[in-house]
Structure 1
Amino acid sequence: MSFQKLGLSEPLLKTIAEQNYTQPYPIQQEAIPAILEGKDILGIAKTGSGKTASFVLPILEMFQTKSAPKNRFITALVLVPTRELAVQIGVVFQTFGEKLPRKVKTLAVYGGVSINPQMIALQGVEILIATPGRLIDLLSHKALNISETEILVLDEADKMLNLGFADEMKDIFFLLPKKRQSILFSATLGDEVDKINKSILKNPLTIEIPEEEQNLDLISQSGFFVDPERKGPLLRYLIKEGEMKQVLVFVSSTRTADNLVVKLVKNGIQAAAMHSKKSQGARTEVLNKFKSGKLTVMVATDLVSRGIDIQFLPHVINFELPRSPKDYIHRIGRTGRAESTGEAISLITPEEAHHWKIIQKKMGKRVEMTETFDLDLMGY
């Protein structure tokens, strides 16, 4: 199926072609026509399945025939769990809306930055992408009104609940009009997500995209047994001796990320941290530098890394193991994309050995390990 058959107008189709989108993803094939028809949607699909365009494209299309609302009255509201996702969706709206005959002002708002510029920027906004906490703040300041909102999108609803936004979401739902179109996307359908589904969706079309098995064949996996105090020097040794130019290093805490970056920089390796305690501006700058090749190492925690998509990433290193085998697959799946090979390395201490065995068992693949007790790491 082609995008031409989904009911989108010529200006949108032209931008889609310019963005090198050739065929719609399965979720786009089902969701776009249904959203254009005004149906509520329950979409169960993992990150990276094409969800964003599946609601951005039809919303922009529908706005071409809508008249502008009263100032600061939001017509379409998109709720998301993280700042990174808000920014990404905002960029997608702006990219696809750039050449449309009717210009629609879109804004992404989130915490961690001053609220005053966002309050000013809300002037004339019709489509708002927001994290729940910041939206509540803006509503309490009477900076906007959602009593006449016509379209509500919840993206990654399961993650919003996991991050503790349930109460904020209920407060927001209470302020929205009963008559509206609602679209809910989630990677999983747990009890809490199902409750929201039943409370806000009306006769929804359910679209479930089965999660494909991650193809690990293009990823070369290896591991090193190492004592805790030698982990840092071993990481620097691998980066320098392997002449790695672009490495995504995963850690389990913001503190470890910051400490690791200090040591890497001190040893002549360009590195920066990417985690939730960094300002939005700092995170955007780090990601841009890393993507463009101006930064050798980006040290990231799992939560913020979910918004990172780099097509040809050659190296991923697990400085610390994730909690679940699924998160391990997600981490190493950042490399070996677009039919290009990649390398995933894990540094395993004696305390992590048992958990490492469980990860390999769940993955169904044994990773070749190397002992490092006799490796000379002096000077690293």
Structure 2
Amino acid sequence: MSFESLALAPSLVNTAAHQQFNEPTAIQNAAIPAILANKDVLGIAKTGTGKTAAYVLPILSGLQNDNSVKNRHVTTLVLVPTRELAVQVKDVFEVFSKDLPQRIKTLAVYGGVSINPQMIGLQGVQVLVATPGRLLELLESNAVYLSSVKTLVMDEADKLLNQEFKAEIDKILALLPKKRQNILFSATLSPNLDQLQSMVLNEPTIIKIEQAEEFIDSIEQIAYLLSPEKKGPYLRHLIEKHAMKQVLVFASSTHQVDSIVHKLRKNKIDARAMHGQKSQGSRTESLLLFKTGKLKVLVSTDLMARGIDIIELPFVINYELPRSPKDYVHRIGRTGRAEANGLAISLVTLNELHHFGVIQKKMGKTVELIDIER
């Protein structure tokens, strides 16, 4: 199937070709016709499968015939859990809309930066990409109104249903028109998502793109059994042994992320931290340096890594295992993309052995475990 066959606006098809989108991915093939038909959609697909374009393209196509724009009354609202993902989604909207006959103004709003430029920037916005907290601040200031929203997108919906967002999401949903199109995308299917589905969706088209076996097979996985106090020195050993020039390291907490970065820098290894307590300027700069290959090591929590999308990331290291086996697959899936090989390394302690066994069972693959204590 081609983009031409999906009934998108011709200018969007041309832009897709210029962006080297040669043919739709599985999630795009399934989601685009359903969204164009104004159906509610629940899409379950891993990061890196093209899910952002799967909703951006049909939304932009539909907006070409929408002349009911009122100032500060957005018609499309995209909710995301992190600032980085907000910027990333906004960029995708802008890339695909630049050659459209009818101008579509998109804005990303998020906390950690001054609210005043965002309030001014909301003039004439049709597509608003927002983190929940900043959106509520703008609503309280009467800088934007949701009464004209025709399409609601919740990207990374599983994360938006975490406890830290739930109260904010409930407030936002209460302000939206009852009659609207709802599009939910998530990397995982969780009980929280089942709850959201019953709250938000109306007879949805459900699309579940299974993780391709060859995608996992393109990622070499290895684990090392070691004591907690040896994790730091062994991380540095691995970076040097593999001559890593670009590696994403996952840790479970903000405190642990900062501790790892401090020790790496102390040993003259270029590293930066990525977590929610960093300023927006710091996070944007770190991400840009990492994406362009000017930063060797980026250490991140799971939530902050949602905005990190690099086509050929060679290395991922789990300094600590995630709680969920699905999050493990999501982490290692940051490497081995676009038919490139990748190496995913996990540092495992005795206390984590049972959990690592559960992860392997759920993943359906056995990972070689090397005991470095012997």
TM-score normalised over the length of structure 1: 0.89
Change (3 A) 1:72 1:263: same
C-alpha separation in 1, matches of 2:216 and 2:205: 33
Change (3 A) 1:357 1:287: same
SS in 2 for 1:61: helix
Q: Once structures 1 and 2 are overlaid, which stretch shifts more, 118-127 or 238-247?
A: 238-247
C-alpha separation in 1, matches of 2:321 and 2:202: 42
Q: Report how far residue 89 of structure 1 moved.
A: 0.9
Q: Once structures 1 and 2 are overlaid, which stretch shifts more, 102-111 or 208-217?
A: 208-217
Q: Given that residues 225 and 369 in structure 2 are in contact (C-alpha distance below 8 angstroms), is that contact kept between their aligned partners in structure 1?
A: no
C-alpha separation in 2, matches of 1:5 and 1:196: 32
Task: Point out 4+ residue stretches in structure 1 off by more than 6 angstroms.
Answer: none
Q: Once structures 1 and 2 are overlaid, which stretch shifts more, 258-267 or 337-346?
A: 337-346
Matched, 1:125 2:130: no
Report the count of equivalent residues.
373
Q: Report how far residue 155 of structure 1 moved.
A: 2.2
Q: Which residue of 1 aligns with 2:368?
A: 367
Aligned Cα root-mean-square deviation (Å):
2.3
Deviations 1:97-128 (A, max 9, x none): 01111111101112222222211211111110
C-alpha separation in 1, matches of 2:190 and 2:267: 46
Change (3 A) 1:325 1:27: closer
C-alpha separation in 2, matches of 1:323 and 1:189: 15
Q: Which residue of 2 aligns with 1:109?
A: 109
SS in 1 for 2:276: coil
Deviations 1:309-368 (A, max 9, x none): 222222222222222333223322322333332222222334334433443444431414
Change (3 A) 1:271 1:329: same
Q: Given that residues 160 and 166 in structure 1 are in contact (C-alpha distance below 8 angstroms), is that contact kept between their aligned partners in structure 2?
A: yes
Q: Given that residues 222 and 367 in structure 2 are in contact (C-alpha distance below 8 angstroms), is that contact kept between their aligned partners in structure 1?
A: no
Q: Report how far residue 205 of structure 1 moved.
A: 3.0
Q: Given that residues 45 and 210 in structure 2 are in contact (C-alpha distance below 8 angstroms), is that contact kept between their aligned partners in structure 1?
A: yes
Q: Given that residues 76 and 149 in structure 1 are in contact (C-alpha distance below 8 angstroms), is that contact kept between their aligned partners in structure 2?
A: yes
Q: Which residue of 2 aligns with 1:299?
A: 299
Q: Once structures 1 and 2 are overlaid, which stretch shifts more, 352-361 or 153-162?
A: 352-361
Q: Given that residues 161 and 196 in structure 2 are in contact (C-alpha distance below 8 angstroms), is that contact kept between their aligned partners in structure 1?
A: no
C-alpha separation in 2, matches of 1:40 and 1:351: 43
C-alpha separation in 2, matches of 1:261 and 1:365: 30
Q: Given that residues 11 and 99 in structure 1 are in contact (C-alpha distance below 8 angstroms), is that contact kept between their aligned partners in structure 2?
A: yes
Q: Which residue of 1 aligns with 2:57?
A: 57
Q: Given that residues 214 and 329 in structure 1 are in contact (C-alpha distance below 8 angstroms), is that contact kept between their aligned partners in structure 2?
A: no
SS in 2 for 1:165: helix
Q: Given that residues 223 and 367 in structure 2 are in contact (C-alpha distance below 8 angstroms), is that contact kept between their aligned partners in structure 1?
A: no
C-alpha separation in 2, matches of 1:41 and 1:331: 25
C-alpha separation in 2, matches of 1:171 and 1:7: 36
C-alpha separation in 1, matches of 2:348 and 2:43: 38
Q: Given that residues 46 and 330 in structure 2 are in contact (C-alpha distance below 8 angstroms), is that contact kept between their aligned partners in structure 1?
A: no
Q: Once structures 1 and 2 are overlaid, which stretch shifts more, 39-48 or 87-96?
A: 39-48
SS in 2 for 1:148: coil
C-alpha separation in 1, matches of 2:324 and 2:145: 41
Q: Which residue of 2 aligns with 1:349?
A: 349
Q: Which residue of 1 aligns with 2:89?
A: 89
Q: Given that residues 270 and 297 in structure 2 are in contact (C-alpha distance below 8 angstroms), is that contact kept between their aligned partners in structure 1?
A: yes
SS in 1 for 2:299: strand
Change (3 A) 1:155 1:335: closer
Q: Report how far residue 56 of structure 1 moved.
A: 0.9
Q: Which residue of 2 aligns with 1:377?
A: none
Matched, 1:169 2:138: no
Q: Which runs of 5+ in 1 are unaligned?
A: 374-380
Percent of paired sites with the same residue: 58
The structure with more radius of gyration = 1
